[in-house]
Amino acid sequence: MRLAIRPHSWLSRLSYKQPLFIACFPKSGSTFLASLLSLATGFSRRDVLVSFGQRDQDICEHKLRRLSRRAVIQQHVKATDYNVELMHKYGIRPIVLVRNIFDVVVSLDDHLRREDHRMPTGFVHREYMTMDFDQRIEYLIRVHLPWYFNFFMSWREAAEGLQAYPMTYEHMFANVRETLEEILGFCQISVSQQQITTALDRVRHSDTRLNCGVSGRGESILSSHHKAAIRELAAAWRVDSTELASIGL
């Protein structure tokens, strides 16, 4: 059973304002979604983490407590005991965004080579840039995809006691307007249809770091060997395969 969590009574005496919080896979369209929500609501984009770079993006309570205005927060954060405890304490109802895991690994390779090698999913050594495509994908499967499965499984169990809104990259881009309306409804935020239309128009001209914005690349690009390795990694968790459908397994 999912529980509706309310902020502690003492929060009403503080300047804290409950944020729209996106907990997300890296390379899941989260920057696009955060930008869209910010444009639609007028809320600024903020973060409540200690630092970016080569570390998990756990919540920093000090920064969270100091939020004086409602904001859109996008963090690659797992549902650890600590993070879930803070979400309970501060009444956060996260949007949990995931993506087809085959597409993720291809998009992650694009990102590492073209943008930034510093990722919260694991250290990327300099030899990565000298590997060929097959070697890079094998490395990402073995070294970085375990983070994604940790994220996915932690939120799977956290959702039993924390009200969260599950979202997939594929659902979002199948109908962006509908997705925006769904999330605003979940967050109990009312905006006009004109605000939504304006936000949709403006986000198309924003830098949202979408590599290609295309679903199904992994299925066509990855070798059968790589796909089998990803399925083997998933099988180690020993959960019903139907529970992995939202990430393409």
pLDDT digits (tens, 9 = 90+) for 9-67: 545 545 678 899 999 999 999 999 999 999 999 999 999 998 777 778 999 999 999 99
Tokens of 16: 């804290």
Task: Provide the pLDDT for residue 205.
Answer: 82
Residues in a beta bridge with 21: 73
Inform me whether the pLDDT recorded for 145 exceeds 50. yes
pLDDT digits 0-9 by tens, 181-223: 999 999 999 999 999 999 999 998 876 565 556 788 999 999 9
Inform me whether the pLDDT recorded for 117 exceeds 90. no
Amino acid letter for position 74? Q
Task: Determine phi and psi for 168, rounding to 5 degrees.
Answer: -120, 155
Task: Provide the pLDDT for residue 48.
Answer: 96
> Residue 96 and residue 90: Cα distance in Å, rounded?
17
The model carries a pTM of 0.90
Residues in a beta bridge with 22: 74, 95
Domains and CATH numbers, the chain: 9-247 (3.40.50.300)
Task: Provide the pLDDT for residue 1.
Answer: 32
For 56, residues 6+ apart whose C-beta sits below 8 A from its C-beta are 76, 77, 78, 120
| The dihedral sign for the CA sequence 104, 105, 111, 112 | positive
**3 state DSSP class of 104:** helix
First to last CA, the chain: 25
pLDDT digits 0-9 by tens, 60-102: 999 999 998 999 999 999 999 999 999 999 999 999 999 999 9
Contact 138, 130 (CB under 8 A): no
